[in-house]
């Protein structure tokens, strides 16, 4: 097994992980990384900014504190001025006289405030001073108010004496008293008269209360203010002595506090270097920084979360898009390359799948390309071999020539047909040896055409017909195709020559055949798509009569005929009278070409001859009938005799009775009725006879074949009686409707019955029998006339229907041939079957008219 690279290993691990999960993972990691990087940079920056900001703020605040402190001191100075100039003090001083040399004891107020001191401090919310002194002009303390009970410290007294015993007497000082700072303010005093008395001095210890009151503000942060001695950096007053005890060195607090110090505005001639310091505890700095950091962390957290969300969403969208692309590609691949669907599932890693799939796809394409090029080469080789084989096997002569017309190669057919020999003819000019002198210019022209067409970018394959020189030196017409081929050496030309000797002969043959139609004395036309495409010379009378020419349209009647002939695919024939001539038109369809050939024939003469023949035949039939009737007439006359005799008898009887006087009218009427009946019978017999004798044109009418048969039987009744022949009649039930010439069909039947009677003449009277039967077979009627006469010898059977064939002394031999002609005219048939010594049956077949059958009615 191949060892995995780390990348492959990671890919394997990631393969089943869905894209959204990876998106979230990447989003998280990136978010964290961004967050951490920001933390590194921003944390430091923020601390720096916070410190700077804090320092600035602190400086600002300490300046503000100092300003407040200074203003507070000024307030004291103002209050001192107010006290010094107060009316109550002036009035108090009015009666007093302080003599410089006079010994005195300073007046001390301990518990009660002096009368000259108004209650002013509480009103201005200033801490009351510890001591308020009245000094005389020499600076000696005359009165002293010990506000807090304590006597005036000696140091303070000295400081006041040294600092304030000056003529102006107005000063504001901060002086150290036992290491503690005191605010000392002096102002001049006068009595009501404006007499200067000395000065008023206030002494206020600057302690925690003082400092707190001076600030009048509660800092949100724990800011502590203190006064520090400039020389030794010790704290001399503190707003919070518990935290920052007085007396401690400033330096020891530097670790826990952020400290700023500024010099207090210099007092007049003050020797004490005091500084105003503000302390901000490191803990509160840290807390503030922590707050800021926490806030910044939160911001950064939100940024990271947003980052993760956006990133995840982005990757998710990309992955969804990839899914789609992958699906589409997979479907495409499935259809186009037939490769299986890559393992695409919703829960797997589409990106990696896509990569895999693209790799697979690329390999497939590469493989397909290799396969195609392999196949192409193979096919090329095969094609080359095939081409060579085809060329060799071609029945056409193939010769390749170079640009100058010299033979380079040729196939076996060319060698044989043109008598080319490799050792002799390769390199020889083709036209000189293998094209007839007359066609060389034509050949060179064709070659030039091909060259020019190629040059001009047209189809360079050129065709033509020339005469090549055959192996035996004779000219051979060929169809020539010139196909140029590009090779390294330039352009070669392949000449394909197809021997068209046979084709030209066939064409000549066809042309000569085509002349036949033209030369035919009968009209020949060809119709395609209703138009006359060809008409020979003989069809001019037809075209004239139709009023058209070649290319014109046939009259509608014949167009329909042409269409039907094409549709049926069968030949049709029609007669037409054109210009007094009768033409038979034969429509012969050629379905595969969509043509119909019309062959016309002038049949005027034929029809005329037929007409004449028919006339002759009619006459013949009539003559024949008369001859038959001659025989019948004897019987008829006898038959006629009967009613006539009966009439005579009845008439004689009637006249006898009238003459005898015994006239019974009833009997007379009876006799008259008999006479009438007999007369009608005679009249009927005569009518029939006349009908048969009369020469009348053939008329077709509908008749009942059974009726005709019965009537014929009645004609021969007398002869039959005479000969003692029993005629048995068996008719088919109902009518047998036929469309016939009544007289002619009766003539046929009469002839047959008469022949049967003749045949029975030599038989003993008791044995003579004729049976006449009618039958219906689908659409035909069959009349059988059967006798039990001597029959007909088989050798004679064929001759029966020949004219003038007879075995009778008085016979004409025309009965049967005329009967056949009549039946042919009626689309019927007649034939005989006979067994010598047994009898003969004649059959007469006639087509039936299709009419509804009537109810059964059989007769015998
Ligand atoms: P004809 O009756 O004038 O001879 P036909 O044409 O009617 O002329 O008959 C031709 C011949 O056919 C008859 O002479 C006879 O020899 C033969 N023939 C016709 N009918 C019969 C029949 N029923 N039996 C025997 N011979 C017959």
- Residue 208 pLDDT greater than 80, yes or no: yes
- Domain-by-domain residue ranges, the chain? 6-52+304-390, 394-504, 520-602, 603-697, 699-860
Q: Which atom of ligand 1 is nearest to the CA of 808?
A: 14
Q: How confident is the model at residue 851, as a pLDDT?
A: 60
CA 23 to chain CA centroid, Å, is 38
Secondary structure class of 510 (helix, strand, coil): helix
Q: What is the DSSP string of 522-563?
A: S-EEEEETTEEEEE-GGGHHHHHHHT--TTSBPPHHHHHHHH
Q: Is the CB of residue 99 less than 8 Å from the CB of residue 197?
A: no
Residue having the nearest C-alpha atom to atom 25 of ligand 1: 791
Query: Is the pTM for the entire model greater than 0.85?
Result: no
Instruction: Summarize the confidence of residues 588-597 as an average pLDDT.
Output: 89
Highest mean pLDDT, choosing among 40-49, 160-169, 178-187, 379-388: 178-187
Q: Hey, which residues does 840 pair with through a beta bridge?
A: 787, 834
CA of 121 from ligand 1 middle (Å) equals 191
User: How far is Cα 658 from Cα 667, in angstroms, rounded to an integer?
Assistant: 11
Q: How confident is the model at residue 852, as a pLDDT?
A: 53
Highest mean pLDDT, choosing among 53-57, 127-131, 339-343, 844-848: 844-848
pLDDT one-digit tens code per residue, 599-657: 988 888 888 888 887 777 677 677 777 777 666 666 667 667 777 888 888 888 888 88
Q: What is the band of 401 on the pLDDT scale with cuts at 50, 70, 90?
A: very high
Q: Does the CB atom of residue 73 touch ligand 1 within 6 A?
A: no
Higher pLDDT, residue 823 or 612: 823
Mutation test of ligand 1: which of 794, 806, 809, 844 has the most ligand atoms closer than 8 Å to its C-beta?
A: 806
Residue having the nearest C-alpha atom to atom 20 of ligand 1: 755
Q: How confident is the model at residue 445, as a pLDDT?
A: 92
Q: Does the CB atom of residue 751 touch ligand 1 within 6 A?
A: yes
- Residue 737 pLDDT greater than 90, yes or no: yes
Residue having the nearest C-alpha atom to atom 3 of ligand 1: 811
Q: What is the band of 152 on the pLDDT scale with cuts at 50, 70, 90?
A: confident
Higher pLDDT, residue 200 or 628: 200
All residues at 6 or more sequence positions from 738 whose CB lies less than 8 Å from its CB, including other chains: 702, 703, 704, 705, 745, 781, 846, 847, 848, 849
- Residue 858 pLDDT greater than 50, yes or no: no
List the one residue out of 233, 229, 232 whose CA is nearest residue 274. Answer: 229
Pairing of strands 726-730, 769-777: parallel
Q: What is the band of 860 on the pLDDT scale with cuts at 50, 70, 90?
A: very low
Secondary structure class of 99 (helix, strand, coil): coil
User: How far is Cα 92 from Cα 86, in angstroms, rounded to an integer?
Assistant: 10
Fold of 603-697: Helix Hairpins (1.10.287)
Q: How confident is the model at residue 633, as a pLDDT?
A: 67
Instruction: Summarize the confidence of residues 299-309 as an average pLDDT.
Output: 79
**Stretch among 325-329, 524-528, 670-674 having the lowest mean pLDDT:** 325-329
Q: Is the CB of residue 788 less than 8 Å from the CB of residue 835?
A: no
CA dihedral of residues 573, 579, 582, 584 (deg, nearest 10): -20
Q: How confident is the model at residue 269, as a pLDDT?
A: 45
Q: How many CB atoms lie within 10 A of CB 589?
A: 22
Q: How confident is the model at residue 782, as a pLDDT?
A: 95
CA of 71 from ligand 1 middle (Å) equals 183
CA of 351 from ligand 1 middle (Å) equals 115
Mean pLDDT score across all residues of the chain:
83
Q: Does the CB atom of residue 815 touch ligand 1 within 6 A?
A: yes
CA 342 to chain CA centroid, Å, is 26
Q: Does the CB atom of residue 747 touch ligand 1 within 6 A?
A: no
pLDDT one-digit tens code per residue, 556-571: 888 888 888 889 888 9
> Order of strands, edge to edge, in the sheet holding 475-487?
407-410, 397-401, 490-499, 475-487, 462-469
**Stretch among 235-239, 256-260, 632-636, 706-710 having the lowest mean pLDDT:** 632-636
Q: Is the CB of residue 238 less than 8 Å from the CB of residue 226?
A: yes
User: How far is Cα 748 from Cα 705, in angstroms, rounded to an integer?
Assistant: 12
In the chain, pLDDT over 90 holds for what percent of residues?
20
Distances (CA, A) of 533 to 236, 308, 508, 526, 827: 145, 89, 21, 6, 39
Q: How confident is the model at residue 259, as a pLDDT?
A: 87
CA of 689 from ligand 1 middle (Å) equals 23
Write the class of the CATH domain 699-860: alpha beta
Asked, colleague to colleague, whether 394-504 and 520-602 share their fold, the answer is yes
Residue having the nearest C-alpha atom to atom 12 of ligand 1: 800
Which residue bears the tokens 């192409």? 376
CATH 3.30.450.20 fits 520-602, yes or no: yes
CA of 806 from ligand 1 middle (Å) equals 6
Q: How confident is the model at residue 856, as a pLDDT?
A: 44
Mutation test of ligand 1: which of 631, 748, 755 has the most ligand atoms closer than 8 Å to its C-beta?
A: 755
Q: How confident is the model at residue 755, as a pLDDT?
A: 92
- Residue 855 pLDDT greater than 50, yes or no: no
Q: Is the CB of residue 819 less than 8 Å from the CB of residue 825?
A: no
Write the class of the CATH domain 394-504: alpha beta
Our separate counts of H helices and E strands in the chain read: 22, 27
User: How far is Cα 65 from Cα 42, in angstroms, rounded to an integer?
Assistant: 33
Q: Is the CB of residue 444 less than 8 Å from the CB of residue 466?
A: no
Q: What is the band of 270 on the pLDDT scale with cuts at 50, 70, 90?
A: low
Q: What is the band of 794 on the pLDDT scale with cuts at 50, 70, 90?
A: very high
Q: Does the CB atom of residue 750 touch ligand 1 within 6 A?
A: no
Q: Does the CB atom of residue 786 touch ligand 1 within 6 A?
A: no
Residue having the nearest C-alpha atom to atom 4 of ligand 1: 806
Q: Does the CB atom of residue 792 touch ligand 1 within 6 A?
A: yes
Higher pLDDT, residue 851 or 509: 509
Q: Does the CB atom of residue 789 touch ligand 1 within 6 A?
A: yes
Q: How confident is the model at residue 362, as a pLDDT?
A: 84
CA of 629 from ligand 1 middle (Å) equals 16
Q: Does the CB atom of residue 788 touch ligand 1 within 6 A?
A: no
In the chain, pLDDT over 70 holds for what percent of residues?
90
Q: How confident is the model at residue 682, as a pLDDT?
A: 83
User: How far is Cα 462 from Cα 493, in angstroms, rounded to an integer?
Assistant: 11
Q: What is the band of 659 on the pLDDT scale with cuts at 50, 70, 90?
A: confident
């Amino acid at each position: 097994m191949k060892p995995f690279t780390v990348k492959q290993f990671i890919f394997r691990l990631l393969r089943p992980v869905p894209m959204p999960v990876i998106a979230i993972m990447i989003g998280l990691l990136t978010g964290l990384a961004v967050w951490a990087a920001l933390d590194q940079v921003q944390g430091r920056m923020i601390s720096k900014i916070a410190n700077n900001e804090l320092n600035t703020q602190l400086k600002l605040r300490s300046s503000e504190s100092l300003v407040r402190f200074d203003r507070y001191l000024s307030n004291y100075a103002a209050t001192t001025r107010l006290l010094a100039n107060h009316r109550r003090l002036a009035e108090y001083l009015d009666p007093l006289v302080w003599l410089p040399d006079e010994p005195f004891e300073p007046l001390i107020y301990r518990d009660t405030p002096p009368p000259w001191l108004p209650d002013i401090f509480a009103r201005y919310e200033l801490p009351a001073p510890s001591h308020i002194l009245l000094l005389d002009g020499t600076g000696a303390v005359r009165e002293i108010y010990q506000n807090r009970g304590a006597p005036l410290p000696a140091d303070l007294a000295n400081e006041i004496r040294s600092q304030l015993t000056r003529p102006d007497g107005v000063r504001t000082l901060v002086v150290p008293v036992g290491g503690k700072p005191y605010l000392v303010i002096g102002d001049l005093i006068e009595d009501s008269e404006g007499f200067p008395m000395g000065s008023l001095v206030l002494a206020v210890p600057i302690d925690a209360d003082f400092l707190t009151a001076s600030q009048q503000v509660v800092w949100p942060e724990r800011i502590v203010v203190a006064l520090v001695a400039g020389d030794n950096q010790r704290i001399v007053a503190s707003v919070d002595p518990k935290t920052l005890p007085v007396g401690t060195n400033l330096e020891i607090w530097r670790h826990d506090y952020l400290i700023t110090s500024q010099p207090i505005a210099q007092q007049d001639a003050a020797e004490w270097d005091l500084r105003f310091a503000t302390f901000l505890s490191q803990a509160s700095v840290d807390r503030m920084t922590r707050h800021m950091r926490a806030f910044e962390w939160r911001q950064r957290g939100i940024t990271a979360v947003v980052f993760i969300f956006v990133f995840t969403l982005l990757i998710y969208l990309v992955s969804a898009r990839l899914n789609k692309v992958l699906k589409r590609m997979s479907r495409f691949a499935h259809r186009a390359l037939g490769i299986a669907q890559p393992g695409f599932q919703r829960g797997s890693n589409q990106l990696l799948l896509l990569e895999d799939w693209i790799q697979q796809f690329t390999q497939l394409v590469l493989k397909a390309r290799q396969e195609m090029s392999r196949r192409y080469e193979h096919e090329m080789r095969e094609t080359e071999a095939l081409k060579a084989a085809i060329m060799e096997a071609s029945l056409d002569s193939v010769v390749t020539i170079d640009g100058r017309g010299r033979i380079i190669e040729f196939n076996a057919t060319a060698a044989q047909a043109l008598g080319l020999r490799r050792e002799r003819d390769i390199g020889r000019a083709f036209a000189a040896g293998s094209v007839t002198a007359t066609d060389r210019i034509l050949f060179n022209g064709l070659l030039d055409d091909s060259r020019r067409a190629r040059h001009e970018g047209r189809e360079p394959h050129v065709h033509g017909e020339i005469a090549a020189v055959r192996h035996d030196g004779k000219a051979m017409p060929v169809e020539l195709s010139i196909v140029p081929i590009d090779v390294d050496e330039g352009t070669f030309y392949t000449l394909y020559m197809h021997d068209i000797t046979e084709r030209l002969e066939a064409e000549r043959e066809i042309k000569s055949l085509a002349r036949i139609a033209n030369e035919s004395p009968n009209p020949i036309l060809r119709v395609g798509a209703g138009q006359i495409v060809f008409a020979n010379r003989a069809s001019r009378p037809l075209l004239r009569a139709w009023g058209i020419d070649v290319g014109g349209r046939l009259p509608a009647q014949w167009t329909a005929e042409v269409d039907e002939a094409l549709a049926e695919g069968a030949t049709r024939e029609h007669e037409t009278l054109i210009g007094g001539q009768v033409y038979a038109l034969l429509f012969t369809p050629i379905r595969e070409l969509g043509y119909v050939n019309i062959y016309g024939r002038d049949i005027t003469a034929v029809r005329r001859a037929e007409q004449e023949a028919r006339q002759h035949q009619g006459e013949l039939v009539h003559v024949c009938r008369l001859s038959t009737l001659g025989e019948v007439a004897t019987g008829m006359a006898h038959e006629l005799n009967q009613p006539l005799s009966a009439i005579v008898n009845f008439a004689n009887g009637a006249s006898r009775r009238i003459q005898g006087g015994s006239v019974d009218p009833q009997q007379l009427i009876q006799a008259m009725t008999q006479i009438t009946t007999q007369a009608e019978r005679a009249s009927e017999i005569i009518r029939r006879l006349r009908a048969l004798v009369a020469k009348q044109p053939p008329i077709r009418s509908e008749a009942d074949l059974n009726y005709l048969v019965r009537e014929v039987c009645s004609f021969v009744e007398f002869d039959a009686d005479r000969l003692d022949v029993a005629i048995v009649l068996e008719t088919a039930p109902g009518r047998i409707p036929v469309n016939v010439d009544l007289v002619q069909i009766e003539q046929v039947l009469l002839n047959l019955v008469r022949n049967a009677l003749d045949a029975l003449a030599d038989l003993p009277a008791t044995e003579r029998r004729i049976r006449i039967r009618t039958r219906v077979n689908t659409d035909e009627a069959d009349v059988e006339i059967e006798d039990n006469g001597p029959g007909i010898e088989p050798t004679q059977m064929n001759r029966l229907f020949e004219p003038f064939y007879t075995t009778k002394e008085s016979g004409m031999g025309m009965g049967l041939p005329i009967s056949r002609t009549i039946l042919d005219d009626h689309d019927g048939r007649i034939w005989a079957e006979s067994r010598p010594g047994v009898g003969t049956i004649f059959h007469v077949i006639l087509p039936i008219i299709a009419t509804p059958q009537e109810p059964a009615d059989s007769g015998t």
